Chains A and B, each alone.
Chain A
Amino acid sequence: MSSLSTIDLVRSLPEVYLAAAICLVLLFDLFVAGERVARTATLTLLVLVAGAALTLYGTTPGTRILAYGGLYVADDVSRLLKVAAFLFTALTLFYGNGYLKRRGLMRGEFYVLTLSALLGVLVLASATNLLTVYVGIELLSLSLYGIVAFDRDNGIAAEAGMKYFVLGAIASGMLLYGMSLLYGVTGTLDLAQLSTQLTQSPGVGLIMGITFVVAAVAFKFGATPFHMWVPDVYQGAPVASSMLVATVPKLASFALAFRLLAEGLTQQSAEWSAMLAILAVLSVIAGNIIAIAQANILRMLAYSAIANVGFVLFGFVVASATGYEAALYYTLAYVLMTVAAFGAVLAMSRDGFEATRLDDYKGLSRRDPLLAGIIAVVMFSTAGIPPFVGFWAKLRVILALLDGDQLWIAIVAVLASVIGAYYYLRVVWLMYFDPPGERPGPSQALALRVVLALNALAILLLGIAPGGLLDMVQRAIPGG
């Protein structure tokens, strides 16, 4: 039996720091900021940037350190995921601030809930025990339910929040049930012990446990057929909330799948990878085809998310270090592109007008060449066209599939991305080749535009020189 020591607190510095920062922001918003919520927003951004720096410099790369008697691990995967989560959260909040102010949603609790969702992501990234996995998921989900339903007087947003809550609760139930079966079979909650003890041939209880766990993971990812909540939440919630749901939690989903399946159920990879293969193939097909029929850009992004999640799951289907690398690389690239896509939607909207219909983007190149260029970069990249980062991400996943002798799945992946390219390029077509007509111009907030341009530049540069990020990802996954 271990007891608490300062060393544990130091080892879990990012979480301890963030938990303290949440309390600080909560108190600051109540007693100092008062009506001037913009101050809380600034403080939150500072907290996030400092958190990224702290994680980067406060932890040693290349080590794997356990804390709290084996309930917590600080390794290279968790380090990379945490730094990315801090930075992407800061980016989403930066993009969302103007929108929140215009919609009258700029209240301090939004920032507190964003930080607590981030804490859930960090906990998941470092989880080595079914108990910590579950607490992390709940911390993330509960905050997201609140963020989605934040505009409570808006019926559609409240409905989206309700759907998300009910389906999320069912998924949590499935996860717990699966975990209880795994515990029943092995008598341990520790993922490392699970992986060493579960070596015998799979019995009914074990298969049931894996099935429930995989279903819960698929729900948290939003993979078909557990994707029903995704379009409604993306469309119904305030755009700033959808952006938060669409980006940082994807890192958490990766962490969840990696810790539970790749590290915990290592010996059972044949079972869960077959299940994931079906889910992933369904996701890329359904996501890409249904996205074509959408007239609302948020719904289009939602189905695009379902299709992209399929690609991340392809990486897990391979069930090898190469596959996990591809999945992690894809997740990071996808989040970078999605943040920019939502940022552009937010930059298009102004007082009383939200550019959520695809028609709102007609002739944008003549009204606002910079923004049109940014959106074009994002769309080209998400479609997987070189020289953008999205191309390398798709390539890595397909190479990993070929590496794992999954030829048929690789063919499906390529065909699905060809179908997907249609609706991404349609947005570009609308912006460059359709007449603008009478439409309100996009907002001219300078800071937002500069950061968006930098975001698009990052998508381009990481595509031209993919080595740095690839290197980081390869070093993060053990055995890669």
Chain B
Amino acid sequence: MLVQLLFYAFAAVMLAAATAVILVRNPVYSALSLVVTFFSAASIWLLIQAEFLAIVLVLVYVGAVMVLFLFVVMMLDVDLEELRSGFAGHAWLGGLVALLLAAEIVGVIWVKGLGSGIDLRSGLAAAAPGASNTRELGVSLFTHYLYPFELAAMLLLVAIVVAIVLTMRVRHREGVKVQDVAAQVAVRREERVRVLQMPPEKRS
């Protein structure tokens, strides 16, 4: 009972936040609403005992992706008036697509009878006590799927190399300021702080 109440509460917050993402005028509020949406989704995942996915959703999407998103929104000088100028003209098209999608979803669920056999209350088997899906995922990734997992690591390495190739400008070395970490670590107090002995002056 409590789980169901919590589910409806989180789902309501999620729907409201998701609606706010597209309705709010200020893009920063919009991005923050998306954060709320993600948090609610993560909470719902926690309710079905998918704790690893829930934590990853918060860590990766809220912690990294959305922060990046906010940076982009705040740093790029997007002219909102220009973006919105064509809104009225395209509204009918957007409405049409939305109607079409809604009709498809309704069609799949009701007409095709998809989901009729699912009993929402007993759909999920109770997990064995002490079972942890973090552990299960880890075991699966590092045994059966080890090969694609390691290849995905190579993929990330390639992505890093390509990003550096395409953006780093070592050529203009004169203008580039670099850190010398060894020098920073080896610095002594005497090089940075000079203690001066000054006689106090009288206010004239």
Contact = CB atoms under 8 A, between A and B. Distances in A.
A4 to B, nearest CB: 5
- Interface size class, chain A: 35 or more
A187 interface: no
A26 B161 contact: yes
Contact of A113 (B143, B151, B162): B162
Contact of A132 (B147, B164, B165): B147
Looking at chain A's contact residues, the main secondary structure is helix
Interface residues of B, number: 22
Given A1-B139, A113-B165, A150-B165, A143 B147 contact: no
Nearest to B162: A146
Given A149-B166, A152-B166, A12 B155 contact: no
Interface string A135-150: 1101100110110011
A177 interface: no
A4 B146 CA distance: 8
B178 to A, nearest CB: 15
A93 B174 CA distance: 32
Interface in B159-176: 159, 161-162, 164-166
B158 A143 contact: yes
Interface in A4-24: 4, 8, 12, 19, 22-23
A131 interface: yes
Nearest to A153: B171
A19 B152 CA distance: 12
A2 B158 contact: no
Contact of B158 (A8, A116, A132): A116
A66 to B, nearest CB: 11
Contact of A142 (B143, B147, B155, B164): B155
Contacts of B158: 113, 116, 139, 142-143, 146
Interface in B125-164: 139-140, 142-148, 150-152, 154-155, 157-159, 161-162, 164
Contacts of A132: 147-148, 151
A81 interface: no
A71 B165 contact: no
Interface of B: 139-140, 142-148, 150-152, 154-155, 157-159, 161-162, 164-166
Interface of A: 1-4, 8, 12, 19, 22-23, 26, 67-69, 71-72, 107, 109, 112-113, 116, 119, 123, 129, 131-132, 135-136, 138-139, 142-143, 145-146, 149-150, 152
Q: When A and B form their complex, which 3 residue pairs have the shortest distance between CB atoms, in order from nearest? A: A146-B162, A68-B147, A135-B151
